[in-house]
Structure 1
């Protein structure tokens, strides 16, 4: 661009000037390109050749300021400042650093190749195992269908026997409830019939002022008649129209009463118009004419709500059905276990562990980093936590999301997101940056922004094959 025999055109194309205007200590070009060797242009750039090392650009106003900015001292060519040429020393230092990096990457790549080799074998083994499990699953599912059919067949007679038992018990309870209700009706009627004429009259019921529900402190004849429906009622009429109206509020009058024996199937039956035993009551005295007398086991439960035990035949049917259910559950458990194994293996196979599987060693692996207050734990491809050393619960700082490295190698960084939300802040997240190392280990964890954590992780998986084979010596004049 700088040819002494030709006019010079500013590099932004804005102006063409005679070549003698270049480096004349006067800024002609807006981009400062006419004064690369002076400090005339504030936006100018001076190129340090730095022979034996690496060329560099510095602001042109650094030129001739008495400070040696170029390692070859070329920026102070017009001053009396003596600059030592440090380019050789810098080149040696850089060369040593590059050689150390080359050796590191060379050792790391050797381990990386071992990981890749194992990854190929493990992936093949996983796929073989998946194929075997899928064949086993087909066989066990067929067995499960057979067990399900056996269970269904065994449950049919079991359910029929249980339903028969329940029906008998429901009938017994219905009879018992009827007997108890009849006893309560007869007892209440007898208590109200104070003159023993087998009728409950207005004056007899009027004595029970607790039945006066209007709270006017007077139980009038009209109110009593409304309850009875007439001036007096028989036992049957009392059962039909009165009992349900007064049963919840009725109380015995405070007077001695003759104890009334507990009702039994032999002594209590449906109410009749007479206090004396009716023909129906006499009929109920015969056990073989009542539903509940069909089973002595049911009969003895007439006064409690505990269902009777199943008979031996029903117990045997239940035992058979229980056995088929147990066998079905066992086979079903096998099916679920095989499906879970297949799912886990497929998840592992589908994890993106690098182009060559170089990050496969991380599967199911967790790594810790200890610092003063916390232990940081990252489980690769799963989650990351902050564990307080002073006690308290773990804090999720992220769940595996994706590889987020640069375009040229996305596998140099991964992201964990949607961790626990900070107080009045965002959800926690973690970025893991990988760099070449001989071992898998975390070497630093920081929180550069609130609730956003950054981790540096060394691993052979991040070592570069190109850097491992690059010679530390260069034939180029510029290092």
Structure 2
């Protein structure tokens, strides 16, 4: 018998779709919902025979379960069996699961097996109990969501405060950068002026006869120094040969000429010029017939040679330094001012004042410098000496050579100030760039209200027995050995949020942030680099729930975080 004959609502049909199975006016017939067949008797509905190609005539039986209905989109009602589940949530199940002898949990009212011909199958209506448990879980989840939402609101407030501070800092840095640019440009102009002034002074020095004379003398010193070194080397070689002859001399087998030369050399070595005492001593030895080999006698120190080789006050290093010193440094700047307004007499007087420290012992120079600077400043203020002369004194005290020629102290100072200004500008620009990057609005990374910023570098961990797993938001995921072996292993660094499904928006869907990808971890032995997928859900606190190695070197981590409590 047809259910349609005994009920206004066929079995397996949702009340909202009752009109689709209503009796047609003035007729006892019915049509398939896709319009493929018309004029079917009402008794054809749920008669356990599939008449309609869309299966719409059998909503409450499994007769049409063999049809491929997934491709059909013309039916105005969902395919499947409707479970009313009064006291819980209505649902649809596949038609094939109707009267299959199994109590489906989706149909807690047992309606899927209500017409089962097997009387042994009985599915009780447990919707009241299931509904109550479900509502309890929903209430608990809602409480967690509300608690997490409050924490998330705190994240948002914290981020807004930091963003406001950062924007204020950005405004300050922008002003400082602009000021630093102006200072840098001013220092660059000062360097250019200093280079022009000192170039003029340097050109005056090079054009002076004194500069040419100094260069000529330096060249002569270099040549003479080289010649002296060659002569000293030859003298050492000659003395070595004569030492060998003197120690190997035997008067029994040498002639008088050799004897005389040896006696004279021995006297020369002693530094006394070869006096009579030496000749008489040797003659006495000869007359006594002493044929002992004189090579056994010690030769002693070559006093004369050492005296000739002694450099004294003017050491080779000192001479070389003087010969190699830049000639421009040997000329007093005060004699070659760029303005050319100082006469010779005042320049000489300036030289005496400025070089006063050169005539004093080193311990007194530091004591006299401060007083001398005060005196010279007073003389400049009273116009007794030109201001440029005082600048040249400072230049001699502070200047350092660079390159092939020494750089004037004023240029060095200007260049140093420019470098300092440029470095300061670079530091400010870098700070500004970092601050601007921090306040950048990117909902796909930081959330619609930048709530995820508050979790940057926040780390959570869970002890799983053999290992402790740590996840740092926007940082690194790490596996830590608990038994003192293996050390820490990187499971990857944060790469991106990967939505759980397509079409999710970071502006409106919390689940857009439900999955985080960590890549480029430590490579597995004979395998790929480790990586981790972090699945998140709403929670009142940040916490790791569980960790599993889903595939080789690929870890799945489940966490809770208030950032997902929207």
The TM-score normalised by the length of structure 2 is: 0.52
Give the counterpart of 1:46 among 68, 81, 86: 81
1:47 CA drift (Å):
2.7
Q: Residue 337 of structure 1 corresponds to which residue in structure 2?
A: 427
Structure number with the bigger relative contact order (C-alpha 8 A, sep ≥ 6) is: 1
Give the counterpart of 1:97 among 137, 141, 159: 137
Q: Residue 71 of structure 1 corresponds to which residue in structure 2?
A: 108
1:378 CA drift (Å):
3.7
Matching of residue 462 in structure 1 with residue 564 in structure 2? yes
Q: For 1:189-245, what per-residue CA distance to the aligned partner results, in whole angstroms no more than 9, with x for missing partners?
A: 9999xxxxxxxxxxxxxxxxxxxxxxxxxxxxxxxxxxxxxxxxxxxxxxxxxxxxx
Question: Structure 1 or 2: larger helix share?
Answer: 2
| Change over 3 Å in CA distance of 1:141–1:171 after alignment to 2 | farther
CA distance in 1, matches of 2:98, 2:233: 119
In structure 2, the residue corresponding to 1:381 is in which secondary structure? coil
Q: Residue 35 of structure 1 corresponds to which residue in structure 2?
A: 58
Matching of residue 400 in structure 1 with residue 495 in structure 2? yes
1:347 CA drift (Å):
1.7
Q: Residue 380 of structure 1 corresponds to which residue in structure 2?
A: 473
CA contact (8 A) 1:401 1:417 kept: no
| Change over 3 Å in CA distance of 1:140–1:104 after alignment to 2 | same
| Change over 3 Å in CA distance of 1:89–1:154 after alignment to 2 | same
In structure 1, the residue corresponding to 2:86 is in which secondary structure? coil
Where does structure 2 lack aligned partners over 5 or more consecutive residues? Answer: 1-19, 68-79, 242-301, 331-357, 359-392, 401-408
Matching of residue 359 in structure 1 with residue 477 in structure 2? no
1:169-188 equivalent positions in 2, closer than 5 A: 175-180=224-229
In structure 2, the residue corresponding to 1:9 is in which secondary structure? coil
1:19-34 equivalent positions in 2, closer than 5 A: 19-29=42-52, 32-34=55-57
Flag the structure with larger Rg. 2
In structure 1, the residue corresponding to 2:451 is in which secondary structure? coil
The worse-fitting range, judged by mean Cα deviation, of 13-22 and 357-366 is 13-22
CA contact (8 A) 1:8 1:19 kept: no
| Change over 3 Å in CA distance of 1:107–1:302 after alignment to 2 | same
CA distance in 1, matches of 2:168, 2:177: 14
The worse-fitting range, judged by mean Cα deviation, of 168-177 and 57-66 is 168-177
CA distance in 1, matches of 2:216, 2:559: 72
In structure 2, the residue corresponding to 1:398 is in which secondary structure? strand
CA distance in 2, matches of 1:144, 1:325: 11
Q: Residue 56 of structure 1 corresponds to which residue in structure 2?
A: 91
The worse-fitting range, judged by mean Cα deviation, of 5-14 and 56-65 is 5-14
Matching of residue 134 in structure 1 with residue 174 in structure 2? yes
The root-mean-square deviation of aligned C-alpha atoms, in Å, is 5.0
Q: Residue 435 of structure 1 corresponds to which residue in structure 2?
A: 537
CA distance in 2, matches of 1:264, 1:155: 50
1:96 CA drift (Å):
1.0
In structure 2, the residue corresponding to 1:350 is in which secondary structure? coil
CA distance in 1, matches of 2:226, 2:66: 107
Q: For 1:360-404, what per-residue CA distance to the aligned partner results, in whole angstroms no more than 9, with x for missing partners?
A: 312353444443344444443344444445354542512433563
| Change over 3 Å in CA distance of 1:335–1:454 after alignment to 2 | farther
1:128 CA drift (Å):
1.0
CA contact (8 A) 1:400 1:416 kept: yes
CA distance in 2, matches of 1:27, 1:137: 81
The number of residues matched between the two structures is 370
CA distance in 2, matches of 1:93, 1:166: 105
CA contact (8 A) 1:442 1:458 kept: yes
| Change over 3 Å in CA distance of 1:24–1:145 after alignment to 2 | same
Where does structure 1 lack aligned partners over 5 or more consecutive residues? Answer: 193-258, 267-292, 465-479
1:356 CA drift (Å):
2.0
CA contact (8 A) 2:36 2:53 kept: no
CA contact (8 A) 2:491 2:518 kept: no
1:254-333 equivalent positions in 2, closer than 5 A: 299-301=316-318, 316-318=397-399, 331-333=421-423
CA contact (8 A) 2:62 2:98 kept: yes
In structure 1, the residue corresponding to 2:399 is in which secondary structure? helix
Matching of residue 120 in structure 1 with residue 166 in structure 2? no
1:53 CA drift (Å):
2.0
Q: Residue 225 of structure 1 corresponds to which residue in structure 2?
A: none
1:178 CA drift (Å):
5.0
Q: For 1:160-182, what per-residue CA distance to the aligned partner results, in whole angstroms no more than 9, with x for missing partners?
A: 8xx99999988766654455457
| Change over 3 Å in CA distance of 1:378–1:394 after alignment to 2 | same
| Change over 3 Å in CA distance of 1:316–1:3 after alignment to 2 | same
Q: For 1:238-292, what per-residue CA distance to the aligned partner results, in whole angstroms no more than 9, with x for missing partners?
A: xxxxxxxxxxxxxxxxxxxxx99599899xxxxxxxxxxxxxxxxxxxxxxxxxx
CA distance in 2, matches of 1:338, 1:144: 12
CA distance in 1, matches of 2:469, 2:218: 65
The TM-score normalised by the length of structure 1 is: 0.60
CA contact (8 A) 1:43 1:60 kept: no
| Change over 3 Å in CA distance of 1:138–1:375 after alignment to 2 | farther
